[in-house]
A and B are shown apart, each in its own frame.
Chain A
Amino acid sequence: MATGQKNSFDKYFTKAHQQLRMAIREVIKKEVLPNINDWEEAGEFPAEFYPLFGELGFLGIGYSEEVGGTGGDIFDVIVANEELMRSGSGGFAAGIGSLNIALPPIIKNGNARQIERFVKPVFQGRRIAALGITEPGGGSDVANIRTTALREGDCYVVNGSKTFITSGVRADQLTCAVRTGGPGARGISFLVIEKETPGYAVGKSLKKTGWWASDTAELFFDNCRVPADNLIGDENTGFSIIMENFQMERLQLCVMANMTAQMALEESLKYTREREAFGRPLTGFQVTRHKLADMATLVDVSREYTYRVAAKMNAGVDQIREVSMAKNFACSVSDRVTYDAVQLFGGYGYMREYLVERLYRDNRVLSIGGGTTEIMKEIISKLI
């Protein structure tokens, strides 16, 4: 087969994607990997990474230069995500990447002033952005959010609380879903709430099963007066913005799940070839070999499906059904592969110094965040 033909199979990633991949990989290897264990224990990574990654153009990948982004398509976003995951810390990837869920609602629906004020500085790493949807009383049931925003002159007065907010402790601004109208999906709007706003309070950093390097917070609003200028898009159109935003978030969760599984597989392959029991390497046992074969098969199938869905999204094709399927499949794969990896490592897999131990813990949130497996199934069942 001619080389030219061979390349046509690899159409998702071009040479430019590949260069970007190598650039990010280099930085992760040099700046992140040597310290990531300490940051995981400390529960956060140094805030200097925001300006550093901003300067390198990593934060704006996939966003147009008009809004201060670096440019690139959906596969650039995937490349960036995959290489951030190479840090071995889902928390680092989620923390540095919180802008990817916080900014798109502003970019797609905001005005020029809002882009200038709330988007560009985030791409430069000068401000940290978070998305606020989930509330203590309602996770999956998004249409029922209770945080209220009442119009008073040129302000909205916001009362309520949000929880499980990724980057919530450090965020300078929150893209926040609030109730401006009646009950249900048609009464929701988006406001950007800034940290300095009187009445805005940050709870303590939440202790979690995994994602330790990322700060997760509960946020409280007590008569927070937010300028009406900070309304994103039209009043009471927030629900469709949330739903639209979920599609990219879910695609990125697919990538995180696939990478988590990929790394667990790589670690397992390395370990089972080296570790001896009963006089032969673990790969000398049929059950081990078949387990590895299953793991590798699942990882491959899941990744290829995610790429296919991404390619269609890139082309502007509606993929709500497919991305929901991809998320459930990728998470079921990463659940199984990380479980099996820990099992193959035996007692070592239970020890914190081994990567598979962290992958197992970090993985657990992927089938919950961005819409649980059960919610994905509700969506899929309506679309089949």
Chain B
Amino acid sequence: MGSELYFTKDHELVRKAVRDFVNREINPYVDEWEAQGIAPLHDLFKKMGDLGFLGIRFPEKYGGEGLDYWYETVVMEELARIYCGGIPMAVAVQMSMATPAIHEFGSEYLKETYLKPALKGDMVSAIAVTEPDAGSDVAAIKTFARKDGNAYVLNGSKTYITNGTQADFLTLLARTSEEPGYHSFSLFVVPTHLPGFHISKKLDKMGMRSSDTAELYFDDMRIPAENLIGSEGQGFIHQMMQFQHERFAVLPLTYVSAREIIDETVAYLKGRIVFGKPLIKKQVLRHRLAEWLSGIECLKQLTYHIVRMKMAGQDVSKEISMGKLFGGNLINKIMDGCLQMHGGMGFMNEMRVSRAFRDSRLMSIGAGASEVMSDVIAKLEGY
């Protein structure tokens, strides 16, 4: 309710198009992709690119649709209806994690060569920041790009790279100086077909099974100097900006997928007769559901508030961090509780709730752990 305050008929047309696509082209295949541990992203992204979903909020000049953040929110809300977390995550990488920095800071060459094909679905992208010894502590990364003539020579490794086994290019953060401080990093577009690129292994995860995650390493890999995004030494700052898009994308995915699982749980509770009455009539369960729905509504309204701030050109770092922190805790609580309401059935893989329970555990870890969000909020409050 109340969504008509923000969404017009045109938004609803996009919503319907994405929903139809999800129902037709994604949901029937999710079980298969979950079992295989990977999804055919080149094929899927091509279809989504053709329909204009991937570039919904990017300029038409670079293969986008030139629409605003409300449309992006609509697309994310509908992707959250996919029967797993892995595919929405893979798409969010393409739309909100690996491409925004190229758009905001990249040269015309990079936009033409990488952004445009990514938004059209002709290339699969990945974001490469985390390293085995540098997760939340981004500044601890060791991967080094040494300038050598008109190239950078890349050495090091990255881990937890979503889409990492099939990406055509990585948006990668590397050190370009040994100096301490935040001006020793640069952001690059790293095409994975160049020599020196290696996939160490595909990682085996608790959830998000349909999304491939890789550990990568770079052995004297020569990257053309023109693949530097923005200017040298600005990479850390560029990436912090890019993180805001990444973390924003998580918000609609959280409140819609949580609502989906609640709806499914309610349907189960209505049909399940225990001690002579449907479980939905149990007061304790009704109150639990009411509390979760209140949390979901708060997160949704905060998200819409953030979109309004973004539209007004305001800085939303604090609000996004608060949404991510709140949402990460909320979704874990809801998925755990919904599984509990299914009893023994909830522990069985055939139930969507058991997958949602495993998938959602990542939400308070990935894209900046809850602890990092708390640190950011405290810092922005001036503590």
- Which A residues are closer than 8 A to B by beta carbons? 134, 138-141, 144, 163-164, 206-211, 276-278, 287, 335, 339, 342-343, 346-347, 349-353, 357, 360-361, 364-365, 367-369, 372-374
Contacts and interface: CB of A to CB of B under 8 A. Distances in A.
Nearest to A141: B274
Interface string B332-360: 10001001100111111110001001100
B133 A276 contact: yes
Contact of A209 (B332, B349, B362, B364): B349
Nearest to B137: A277
B70 interface: no
Contacts of A144: 275
Contact of B361 (A353, A360, A367, A369): A360
Contact of B344 (A163, A287, A342): A163
Given A347-B135, A353-B204, 4 more contacts: A206-B349, A209-B348, A346-B135, A364-B347
List 8 tightest A-B contacts by C-beta distance, closest first.
Answer: A207-B349, A277-B137, A352-B204, A164-B344, A139-B343, A141-B274, A347-B160, A346-B135
A352 B140 contact: no
22 contacts: A139-B344, A140-B274, A140-B343, A144-B275, A206-B350, A208-B347, A209-B339, A209-B346, A277-B137, A277-B140, A278-B137, A343-B369, A347-B135, A350-B362, A352-B204, A361-B206, A364-B336, A364-B357, A367-B340, A372-B343, A374-B284, A374-B340
A277 B361 contact: no
Contacts of A349: 365
Contact of A351 (B137, B205, B349, B354): B205
Given A207-B350, A368-B344, A350 B365 contact: yes
B315 interface: no
B204 A138 contact: no
Contacts of A364: 336, 339, 347, 357
Contacts of A210: 347
Contacts of A352: 204-206
A276 B142 CA distance: 14
Contacts of A141: 274-275
A347 B274 contact: no
Contacts of A207: 348-350
**Central interface residue in A209, A287, A360, by most chain B CB within 10 Å:** A209
Interface of B: 130, 133, 135-137, 139-140, 159-160, 203-207, 274-275, 284, 332, 336, 339-340, 343-350, 354, 357-358, 361-362, 364-366, 369-371, 374
A367 B203 CA distance: 29
A364 B338 CA distance: 12
A353 B201 CA distance: 13
Contacts of A368: 340, 343-344, 346-347
Given A141-B275, A209-B354, A342-B361, A351 B135 contact: no
Contacts of A164: 344, 347
Nearest to A139: B343
B187 to A, nearest CB: 21
Contacts of B275: 141, 144
Contacts of B160: 347
B369 A346 contact: yes
Contacts of A139: 274, 343-345
Contacts of A360: 206, 361
Given A206-B348, A207-B349, A364-B347, A351 B206 contact: yes
A164 B348 CA distance: 9
A208 B365 contact: no
A335 B340 CA distance: 12
A76 B77 CA distance: 54
A342 B332 CA distance: 12
**Central interface residue in B206, B332, B346, by most chain A CB within 10 Å:** B206
**Central interface residue in A141, A277, A353, by most chain B CB within 10 Å:** A277
Contacts of A350: 205-207, 361-362, 365-366
Contact of A365 (B130, B135, B205, B347): B347
A369 to B, nearest CB: 7
A274 to B, nearest CB: 11
A18 to B, nearest CB: 35
Given A209-B349, A361-B206, A277 B136 contact: yes
A349 to B, nearest CB: 7
A346 B343 contact: no
Contacts of A163: 344
A343 B325 CA distance: 13
B210 to A, nearest CB: 15
A357 B203 CA distance: 13
Contacts of B364: 343
Contacts of B346: 209, 368
A256 to B, nearest CB: 14
**Central interface residue in B136, B160, B350, B371, by most chain A CB within 10 Å:** B371
A374 B274 CA distance: 13
Contact of A335 (B336, B343, B374): B336
B370 A343 contact: yes
Nearest to B374: A287
Given A139-B344, A335-B336, A347 B365 contact: yes
Contact of B365 (A276, A346, A373): A346
Contacts of B140: 276-278
Contacts of B339: 209, 364
A373 B369 contact: no
B340 A372 contact: yes
**Central interface residue in A134, A207, A278, A346, by most chain B CB within 10 Å:** A346
Contacts of A361: 206, 358
A142 to B, nearest CB: 10
Contacts of A347: 130, 135, 159-160, 365-366
Contacts of B284: 374
A211 to B, nearest CB: 8
Contacts of A373: 340
A141 B273 CA distance: 9
B84 to A, nearest CB: 15
Contacts of B159: 347
